Structure 1
Amino acid sequence: MPEGYQLTEWEYALKFWNINGSSSHSFSTCYDVTKAFVESSEIMHLRELKGAPVYLFSYFFDRALNSGLVKGNEGGQIELRQFKEAAETACRRGKSEIEDDGSHWMPWQCLDLTYIYSLLRDGYQFEDDQPIVLAKKIKGMEVSWGQGLAFATANEFQLTEGAIKSVLNSTADQNSTVVDQIFDLVYSGTNQVLSYFNIISV
């Protein structure tokens, strides 16, 4: 945040924080910090997707919308470099510009856009000309982080189903039929939801 800007009693993680801007506020300073964090996070590189359109939703879409990279709920396709350009613009804003705007996300826009750029560039290893498709809905339904969580949960469920069944059956053989029915119900229901959104094929 720019020098002279203050956020007082900002609530996060059930705590209140007082945040002060810095005289070193700039895109390059913010990028150095976010890049160090991203590289320390050991994110899986996705070089196999180089040049192929990558679809982004939720937080990515919202920040792109705030910065004017897409218009309305229609979304659209951009290149990764445009996140960097938007971040550079956001990081040039001074205290008065942020205060005059008043949007709750405006003080964080420099950090948000810089982090998104670094995550995609330094984390997933996409090039600046990587096609990025930003969308809010699939088949008319809004997409959020919940779909990603559902996919990850279903995948984890498949991997651990056998182990859990084994433990439960070893301690209560008489309930094995009930356990099987519960697992089958959860598994089939999750697959139906994910296949509807074309996230998996069944």
Structure 2
Amino acid sequence: FLLLYLFISAEHGKELVSPCLSPGFTGEWEHAEITYRISGQKAVNLHKLCASRVLEILRNKVHRTEEVKDVDFYAFSYYYDLAANVGLIDVEKGGSLVVGDFDIAAKYVCRTAETQPQGNPFLCMDLTYISLLLQEFGFPENKVLKLTRKINNVETSWALGAIFHYIDSLSRQKSPAL
């Protein structure tokens, strides 16, 4: 929900309009027992408008790291699923791609979404977000990412959930009063 909310350009009650959704898209989406009416906004260059909104959201919130240029990276979960969804990697085996492949896919999907309805109305937004997030982290376009669901035959998704739970529990702990 947070990602969708961040990309909303106008909010009127429970009606949300986003520059990251297909111009002809309208639908309903439920979160926290509230049903929202969502739609795309009329756009000539959907990717450009969406990218502008994404960069606005990411500005000054992402720590750029020089080290990303020099070490091997694996990507999981959201990255894996998006790459598999658009055919950048094999759905079962995973694979490798360069960071720039996400940008190419985002531009293609967004351009296509301008004129043709898609099965996944959030794909333009998701790919644009991932592409720009990786760039903001400092990943060069030609940096290879290895996308997989397993490392040494061990499923990775449980580890990601476990670390998020651990981080959340740390933030909820209070320091003892002095």
Deviation for aligned residue 1:46: 2.1
For 2:68, which of 49, 52, 59 is the aligned residue?
49
Runs (5+) with no aligned partner, structure 2: 1-20
Distance 2:33 2:167 in 1: 31
Aligned letter for 1:97? Q
1:78-157 pair list within 5 angstroms: 78-94=97-113, 97-99=116-118, 103=119, 106-122=120-136, 124-144=137-157, 146-151=158-163
Q: 2: distance between equivalents of 1:51 and 1:131?
A: 11
Amino acid at match of 2:152: K
Instruction: Provide the rounded CA distance (Å) in 2 between the counterparts of 1:75 and 1:67.
Output: 12
Distance in 2 (CA, whole Å) between partners of 1:5 and 1:96 is: 11
Q: TM-score, normalised by structure 1?
A: 0.66
> Contact between 2:98 and 2:141, CA under 8 Å: does it hold in 1?
yes
Tell me whether 12-21 or 29-38 shows the greater mean CA deviation: 12-21
Q: How far 1:26 sits from its partner (Å)?
A: 1.2
Moved over 6 A (4+): 155-158
Q: C-alpha deviations, 1:165-200, integer Å up to 9, x for none? A: xx6xxxxxxxxxxxxxxxxxxxxxxxxxxxxxxxxx
Count, aligned residues: 156
Contact 2:22 2:117 in 1 (8 A): no
Contact 2:113 2:124 in 1 (8 A): no
**Cα distance in 1 for residues equivalent to 2:166 and 2:81:** 26
SS in 2 for 1:88: helix
For the pair 1:26 / 2:46, whether they are aligned, the reply is: yes
CA RMSD in angstroms comes to 2.9
**Structure 1 match to 2:94:** 75
CA contact (8 A) 1:5 1:95 kept: no
Structure in which a larger fraction of residues adopt helix? 1
Q: Which has the larger radius of gyration?
A: 1
The structural deviation recorded for 1:141 is 3.1
Distance 1:147 1:157 in 2: 15
Structure with the largest fraction of strand: 2
1:35 equivalent in structure 2: 55
Give percent identity, aligned residues only. Answer: 27
- The letter of the residue matching 1:115 is Y
SS at match of 1:97: coil
Deviation string, structure 1 residues 29-74 (Cα, Å, up to 9, x no partner): 111111111124x222221121432111011100110011101221
- CA shift for structure 1 position 140: 2.4
Contact 1:55–1:134 (Cα < 8 Å) also in 2: yes
Please, what TM-score do these two structures have when normalized by structure 2? Answer: 0.74
Shift of 1:2: 2.3
